[in-house]
Structure 1
Amino acid sequence: MKTPAVDAHEMLDRIQDAFLALDCQGNCTYINAEASRLLSRSREEWMGRHIREMFPEASFHECYKAAMEKQQPGVYSGFFPPLQAWLYIRMHPSPDGLSIYFWDVTKEQAAMSEREGHYQSLFIHNPDAICCFDLHGNYMNANTAMEQLLGYSREELQQLSFIRLVSQGDVEKAKRHYRLAAGGTTQRYEMRVIHKDGSLVHADMINIPILVNGKVAGVYGIAKNITDRKLAEQELRKTKESLQSLVRNNADAIWIMDMEEQVVEVNETFEAMYQWSAAEVIGKELPTIPDSAKETEGEMRRRVKAGGRIVDLETIRQRRDGSLLNISATLSPILNEAGTVIGITGICRDITPRKRAEASLKARTQQLESFIENNADAILVLDLQGTILQVNPAFERIFGWRKEEMVGIHLHKLPTIPPEQEEEMKDLEASVREGHLLSGVETRRMRKDGTLLDVILTLSPIQDEKGDIDGWSASIRDITEWKKSQLLLQNTEKLSVAGQLAAGIAHEIRNPITAIKGFIQLIRSGLGEREEYFDIMVSEIERIEQILSELLLLAKPQAAKFERKDIKVLLAQVITLLDTQAILNNVEIVTQFQPGFTYISCDENQLKQVFINYIKNAIEAMPRGGRLVIQVKRLGPDQISICFIDQGVGMSEEVLAKLGQPFYTTKENGTGLGFMISKKIIENHSGEVHITSKHQHGTTIEVQLPLHQE
């Protein structure tokens, strides 16, 4: 039998890590096969050798001594020239010596060096100027772009602090942002730095904290040269100052914008015309362009940026309160000394009064041409004093008076107004003079032959270019024949409905009465079992009562008692009531209730009546059994949907079209009133019923009801 030591040595030989054991003096007492391979000598050559012969590196021995003295594990990583390899070593001390595990990490070290080379290349060749500082603001490294930005070499920068290269006016700002970055917060700001030749460079700076093991060890600085942009802005400001006097004192509204179409300046006339203050528009897009004109405005600005000029353009602009102005605008480019376009100026003149006058004249002409000459209704146009200025041909045709007989007559002497309507006409006139539009006034007017006509009267005020009332028009539509036809139609409809109800009631009640009559004759003759006859007669009488009660409910529903109820609870109670019937008919009732608020305001008994009707119909529509799905879900914030989906025989389009007619039923013992009454109950609850069905493919009834709002 092998000793435990021998077994331990065999285990150490089998592990893939290199392992050796030392005594307290540092001599090798054991080395496994992997360690022997890495150190390129046999196990016998290394046994008894001192650790210095195996690993001659001085830094390794310092780590080895510390581990032995402190009796604490140690880790060492370094390059060993005799082996031409990078080793990673872990040391575990004990009172009897030291156990050492080590690995060849040359490949990993090479990969790491390659990555560092990539990072270094990215840093050196980055097009942005990049440098890194220590926590005191001293340059530690800089890339080529930073050398070009500042004019100093990398070696020169490493001898400087960044504060020495900041313009005096920006020193405090630069210090503040640097402290914040050194505290762990990325900063972005603009400042001026001093080039080696003494010139100022405008830079857009970003300071990013350098984190090492979670702690800030320094700061990255990334800079972009924005000198050209700043100089262009300064040049634009000089141009603006040269035009300031002209802009400020001009009677027309003037605005100036840069090439990014941001407003740089507006004058006082602009503020007064458009109701926007200068502070509200400077630095933003021009707010006076309505949506309908933005595309055209964009094209015009592109032409001006290309050096063109637009003169006396008549267009629409928008004030702050949303009102529109007609303006005449001139757009011109602003050029620098080199002839380059650096901005746009606009000069706007308000021509709204002129346009209103033109529009009023055009509108009045079109109104007279369209309404007076071509309208099928009788039209009169009156001035502010009530004198008739014009009548159209339709007036002549309807009332029989010629135009020459009407023009110049005052409203109060108009022969078409019957004496009993004169006071009504004065009231209508007063309302129109106050600016009210009167539409759809039913009254009576008289023809030249004395015939009275039923008419619809519309009176409209006419406004001038200032919005003041300077006249009014009257439109008269003859509805005499229409009213006669409406009355005839109503009478016909009443007769039709009465006929349907009479035929239905007669048909439904005749059969039970015939049966009762027959049994009474049988009883009188003494034939048959009288007890059985009484039962049948009672059944027929109950059927008559059922038909009459349903008709009564349809014609005059009971006063509903509305309360706040949970629709899911009502459905559960109805399902419990009908579950036995469903089981007997091999029908499975499945509920799909969406969670959430499902309270409604309802008459509980009436809704239960509706749901019982729908569920019973669904069960009866599945004579061979099937599945009835009842769904409850929200439809928006204030409505709920209850669906009854069966797998029954369905209904054809013809049956669906007749559904709801009085006494129409597809059932052998049905009255044809159940669905009609259910629909009326839902409508009394401010709801709707929708039915979809297909023959042999089932039926879906959806009830939509309003939710109860707290």
Structure 2
Amino acid sequence: MKNLFRPLKEYLPLIKTFASAAAVFLLAKFVAPYFIFPGSSYLEIHTTLELFSVFVALATFAVSWFSYPESKDNNVLILGIGFLSFGLIDYFHTMTYKGMPSLLLLPSSPEKATLFWIIGRLTEACTFLLTAISEKLKPIKINRVLALACSVVWSTAVLLTVSYYPHLLPPMYISGVGLTATKITLEYVVIALNLITLFLLIRRQTSNDLLFVKALLVSIFSELSFTLYISVYDSYNFLGHIYRIITYSLFFQSVFITSVKGPYLEMQYILKSLPLPVLTFSRTGHVQFSNQAFSDFSGYNARELEGLHFTALAGKLFSKEDLPLLRAGNALSSKKITVDHRLHLQHKNGETKPIMVEHYPLLRSGKRQDGILSIFYDLQDKIKLHTFQQRFNFIVDAMQSGLLAVDNSLTITAFNKAAERILGLKAEQVLERNFKDIFPPQSALYILADTFATGTEYKNYPVGIAEANLELDVETSLVKDDIGNTIGAMIIFNDVTALRRLQGKMHRLEKLKLIGEMAACTAHEIKNPLTTIKGFTQVLQKKCDELALHAEKEFASIILSEVDRLNKLLQDYLLLAKQPQEELSEVSLPELLEVIYKMIKAEAVQHNVKVIKKVSDVLPPVSGNPEQLKQVFLNLGFNGLQSMLKEGGTLTISANLTGDFIEIAFHDTGCGIPCQNIPKLFEPFYTTKENGTGLGLPISLKIVQEHGGEIKVESEVGKGSSFKVLLPVTYPKAERLVN
């Protein structure tokens, strides 16, 4: 109900319509005794008024019928189909009026004319009411052919029933008596239905309903006039026909504006409001419309361009060199979008600018082409933007840091060359895809999604990519527009894997240096007392043997064993502190590895471990210390053997030439090493063995590094480990010169 109580000014048009209709209605009451149709001309006047109403009704139907495929307005179609129905019924009423020629070979009569009349009015009132409540039908596409068939069937049924079976209907007119109570009651029913429709339309509060409401107001006075008239010749009967013509004219105007004029004006408004320069051409190639943006763009106003054929227009706007490139003529017949690339438009003031033109076909119902719509683009800004983008992309791709950017929907919009190199992904694999599809929550770079969601920005934040064995330093930040709104986010990352490894090596070297200094200072001081202890223990052991002190002799043996163990530890300390040897000899790895193979195999047989050797006999020699290399290989081989003592397995010793290095690998099928423990293997005193010192691998690494090589470790828990020693090849002198 609140929609009914709106500002008074919104009701002023309706109040004016009501006041005008009511004033004429009241005036007719006073002039009724003085205004009477002349009987001789009444039939001609009645027929003219009725046929005019029929013509307007059929015109309303035609507009709604032909506009529906484009407008899809169910209200207008229902109204148009209804106008066809009661327009035909009104025609039947006119042709059966007293004095008219017989319709369908049956004589005309007041009874038939009155029946046609009241059925027409009821059909009219029901159509108006259905139109008012058809808001719920908007999502439904009405089959207009089926609706037309229903209208024709209804009109035909009414015609046949009234013509051949009038006794089935209640009488509306009795000769010598006049209108029946039924007819008058039905007239009031029609008025009531129109009032309900009027109420619904006012409540709906749609601007398009104003003419509809005005028409209903006038139709109510029309029905009142036809209810109150006493004689067909009095003023109310004449006024009722005039009201009805006005009613139908208002309905026709409403349908025409809604379906034809309104969309046309709306399209013109849209085209005029477009910031892009626009021209429309008829199917004959003449300019129909140009907006203000085109006038500013070309310097020619709409009056100068309207009606020009596109060939004449091209002569004004383009140089002779561009004329052969124009495709507007093709667009008029191709029914396809065509584009004119890189033309040069000549402004009215003589300036020239690079442009592009897109021609869109204007198709009626998707079939017939009525013309084209041409949109003009100034390429100056695009060229500047393209140049800026090229420079920006060059700078971004030249960065040594990886860069990845996303927009508000987390769609990846930037991915530079460094990002490709670090992450091993191509730009075409990730651009325009959602960030979360490429980098799931467990990914190291998912931190960018957290920045976008929470606004937390990270600086120098370390992350690791375990599967790629990478360590990254990342920085994230939000991307904002000029007014501070977040429009995306970006992440910059650097590969610091090599730096972290170098730092680890430096840390290990510092430890080794410290251990070496300690060993150099204390080893001799400790070694002398140990020699004394060992000597006296051996004497005690001999005395115990002479005196048959077996328990004491066992204790002496334990002391000697522990003294030997301490001596071995001291030798390791001294080896860490020892400076690299300057004099190295050529070492034949096949021969050295054969010795290693036999020594390890002899031990492996006792523990159900199979040892396999895959060493080429033609490997070039390496420069090194044979004893130190033997120590390294034995250490790595026995480490692999010890990892398989419980379950058994296979130890594979291999050696292959890889570039300028020989790769000696010890691969076991033991328990494997957790990935988080691998970086700790070469740290002094780190061990997983019960009786280990944690110095074997650090010493091995030191020896290999002194030989110009390195040790690589690959391991997987439950499958085994591979320790690979890379040693540089020693070429003969002549071969070194060639290399």
The two structures share one fold, judged by TM-score above 0.5: no
Taking structure 2 as the reference length, the TM-score comes to 0.30
Choose between structure 1 and 2 for higher RCO, CA contacts under 8 A separated by at least 6 residues: 2
Taking structure 1 as the reference length, the TM-score comes to 0.31
Give 1 or 2: higher helix fraction: 2
Give 1 or 2: higher strand fraction: 1
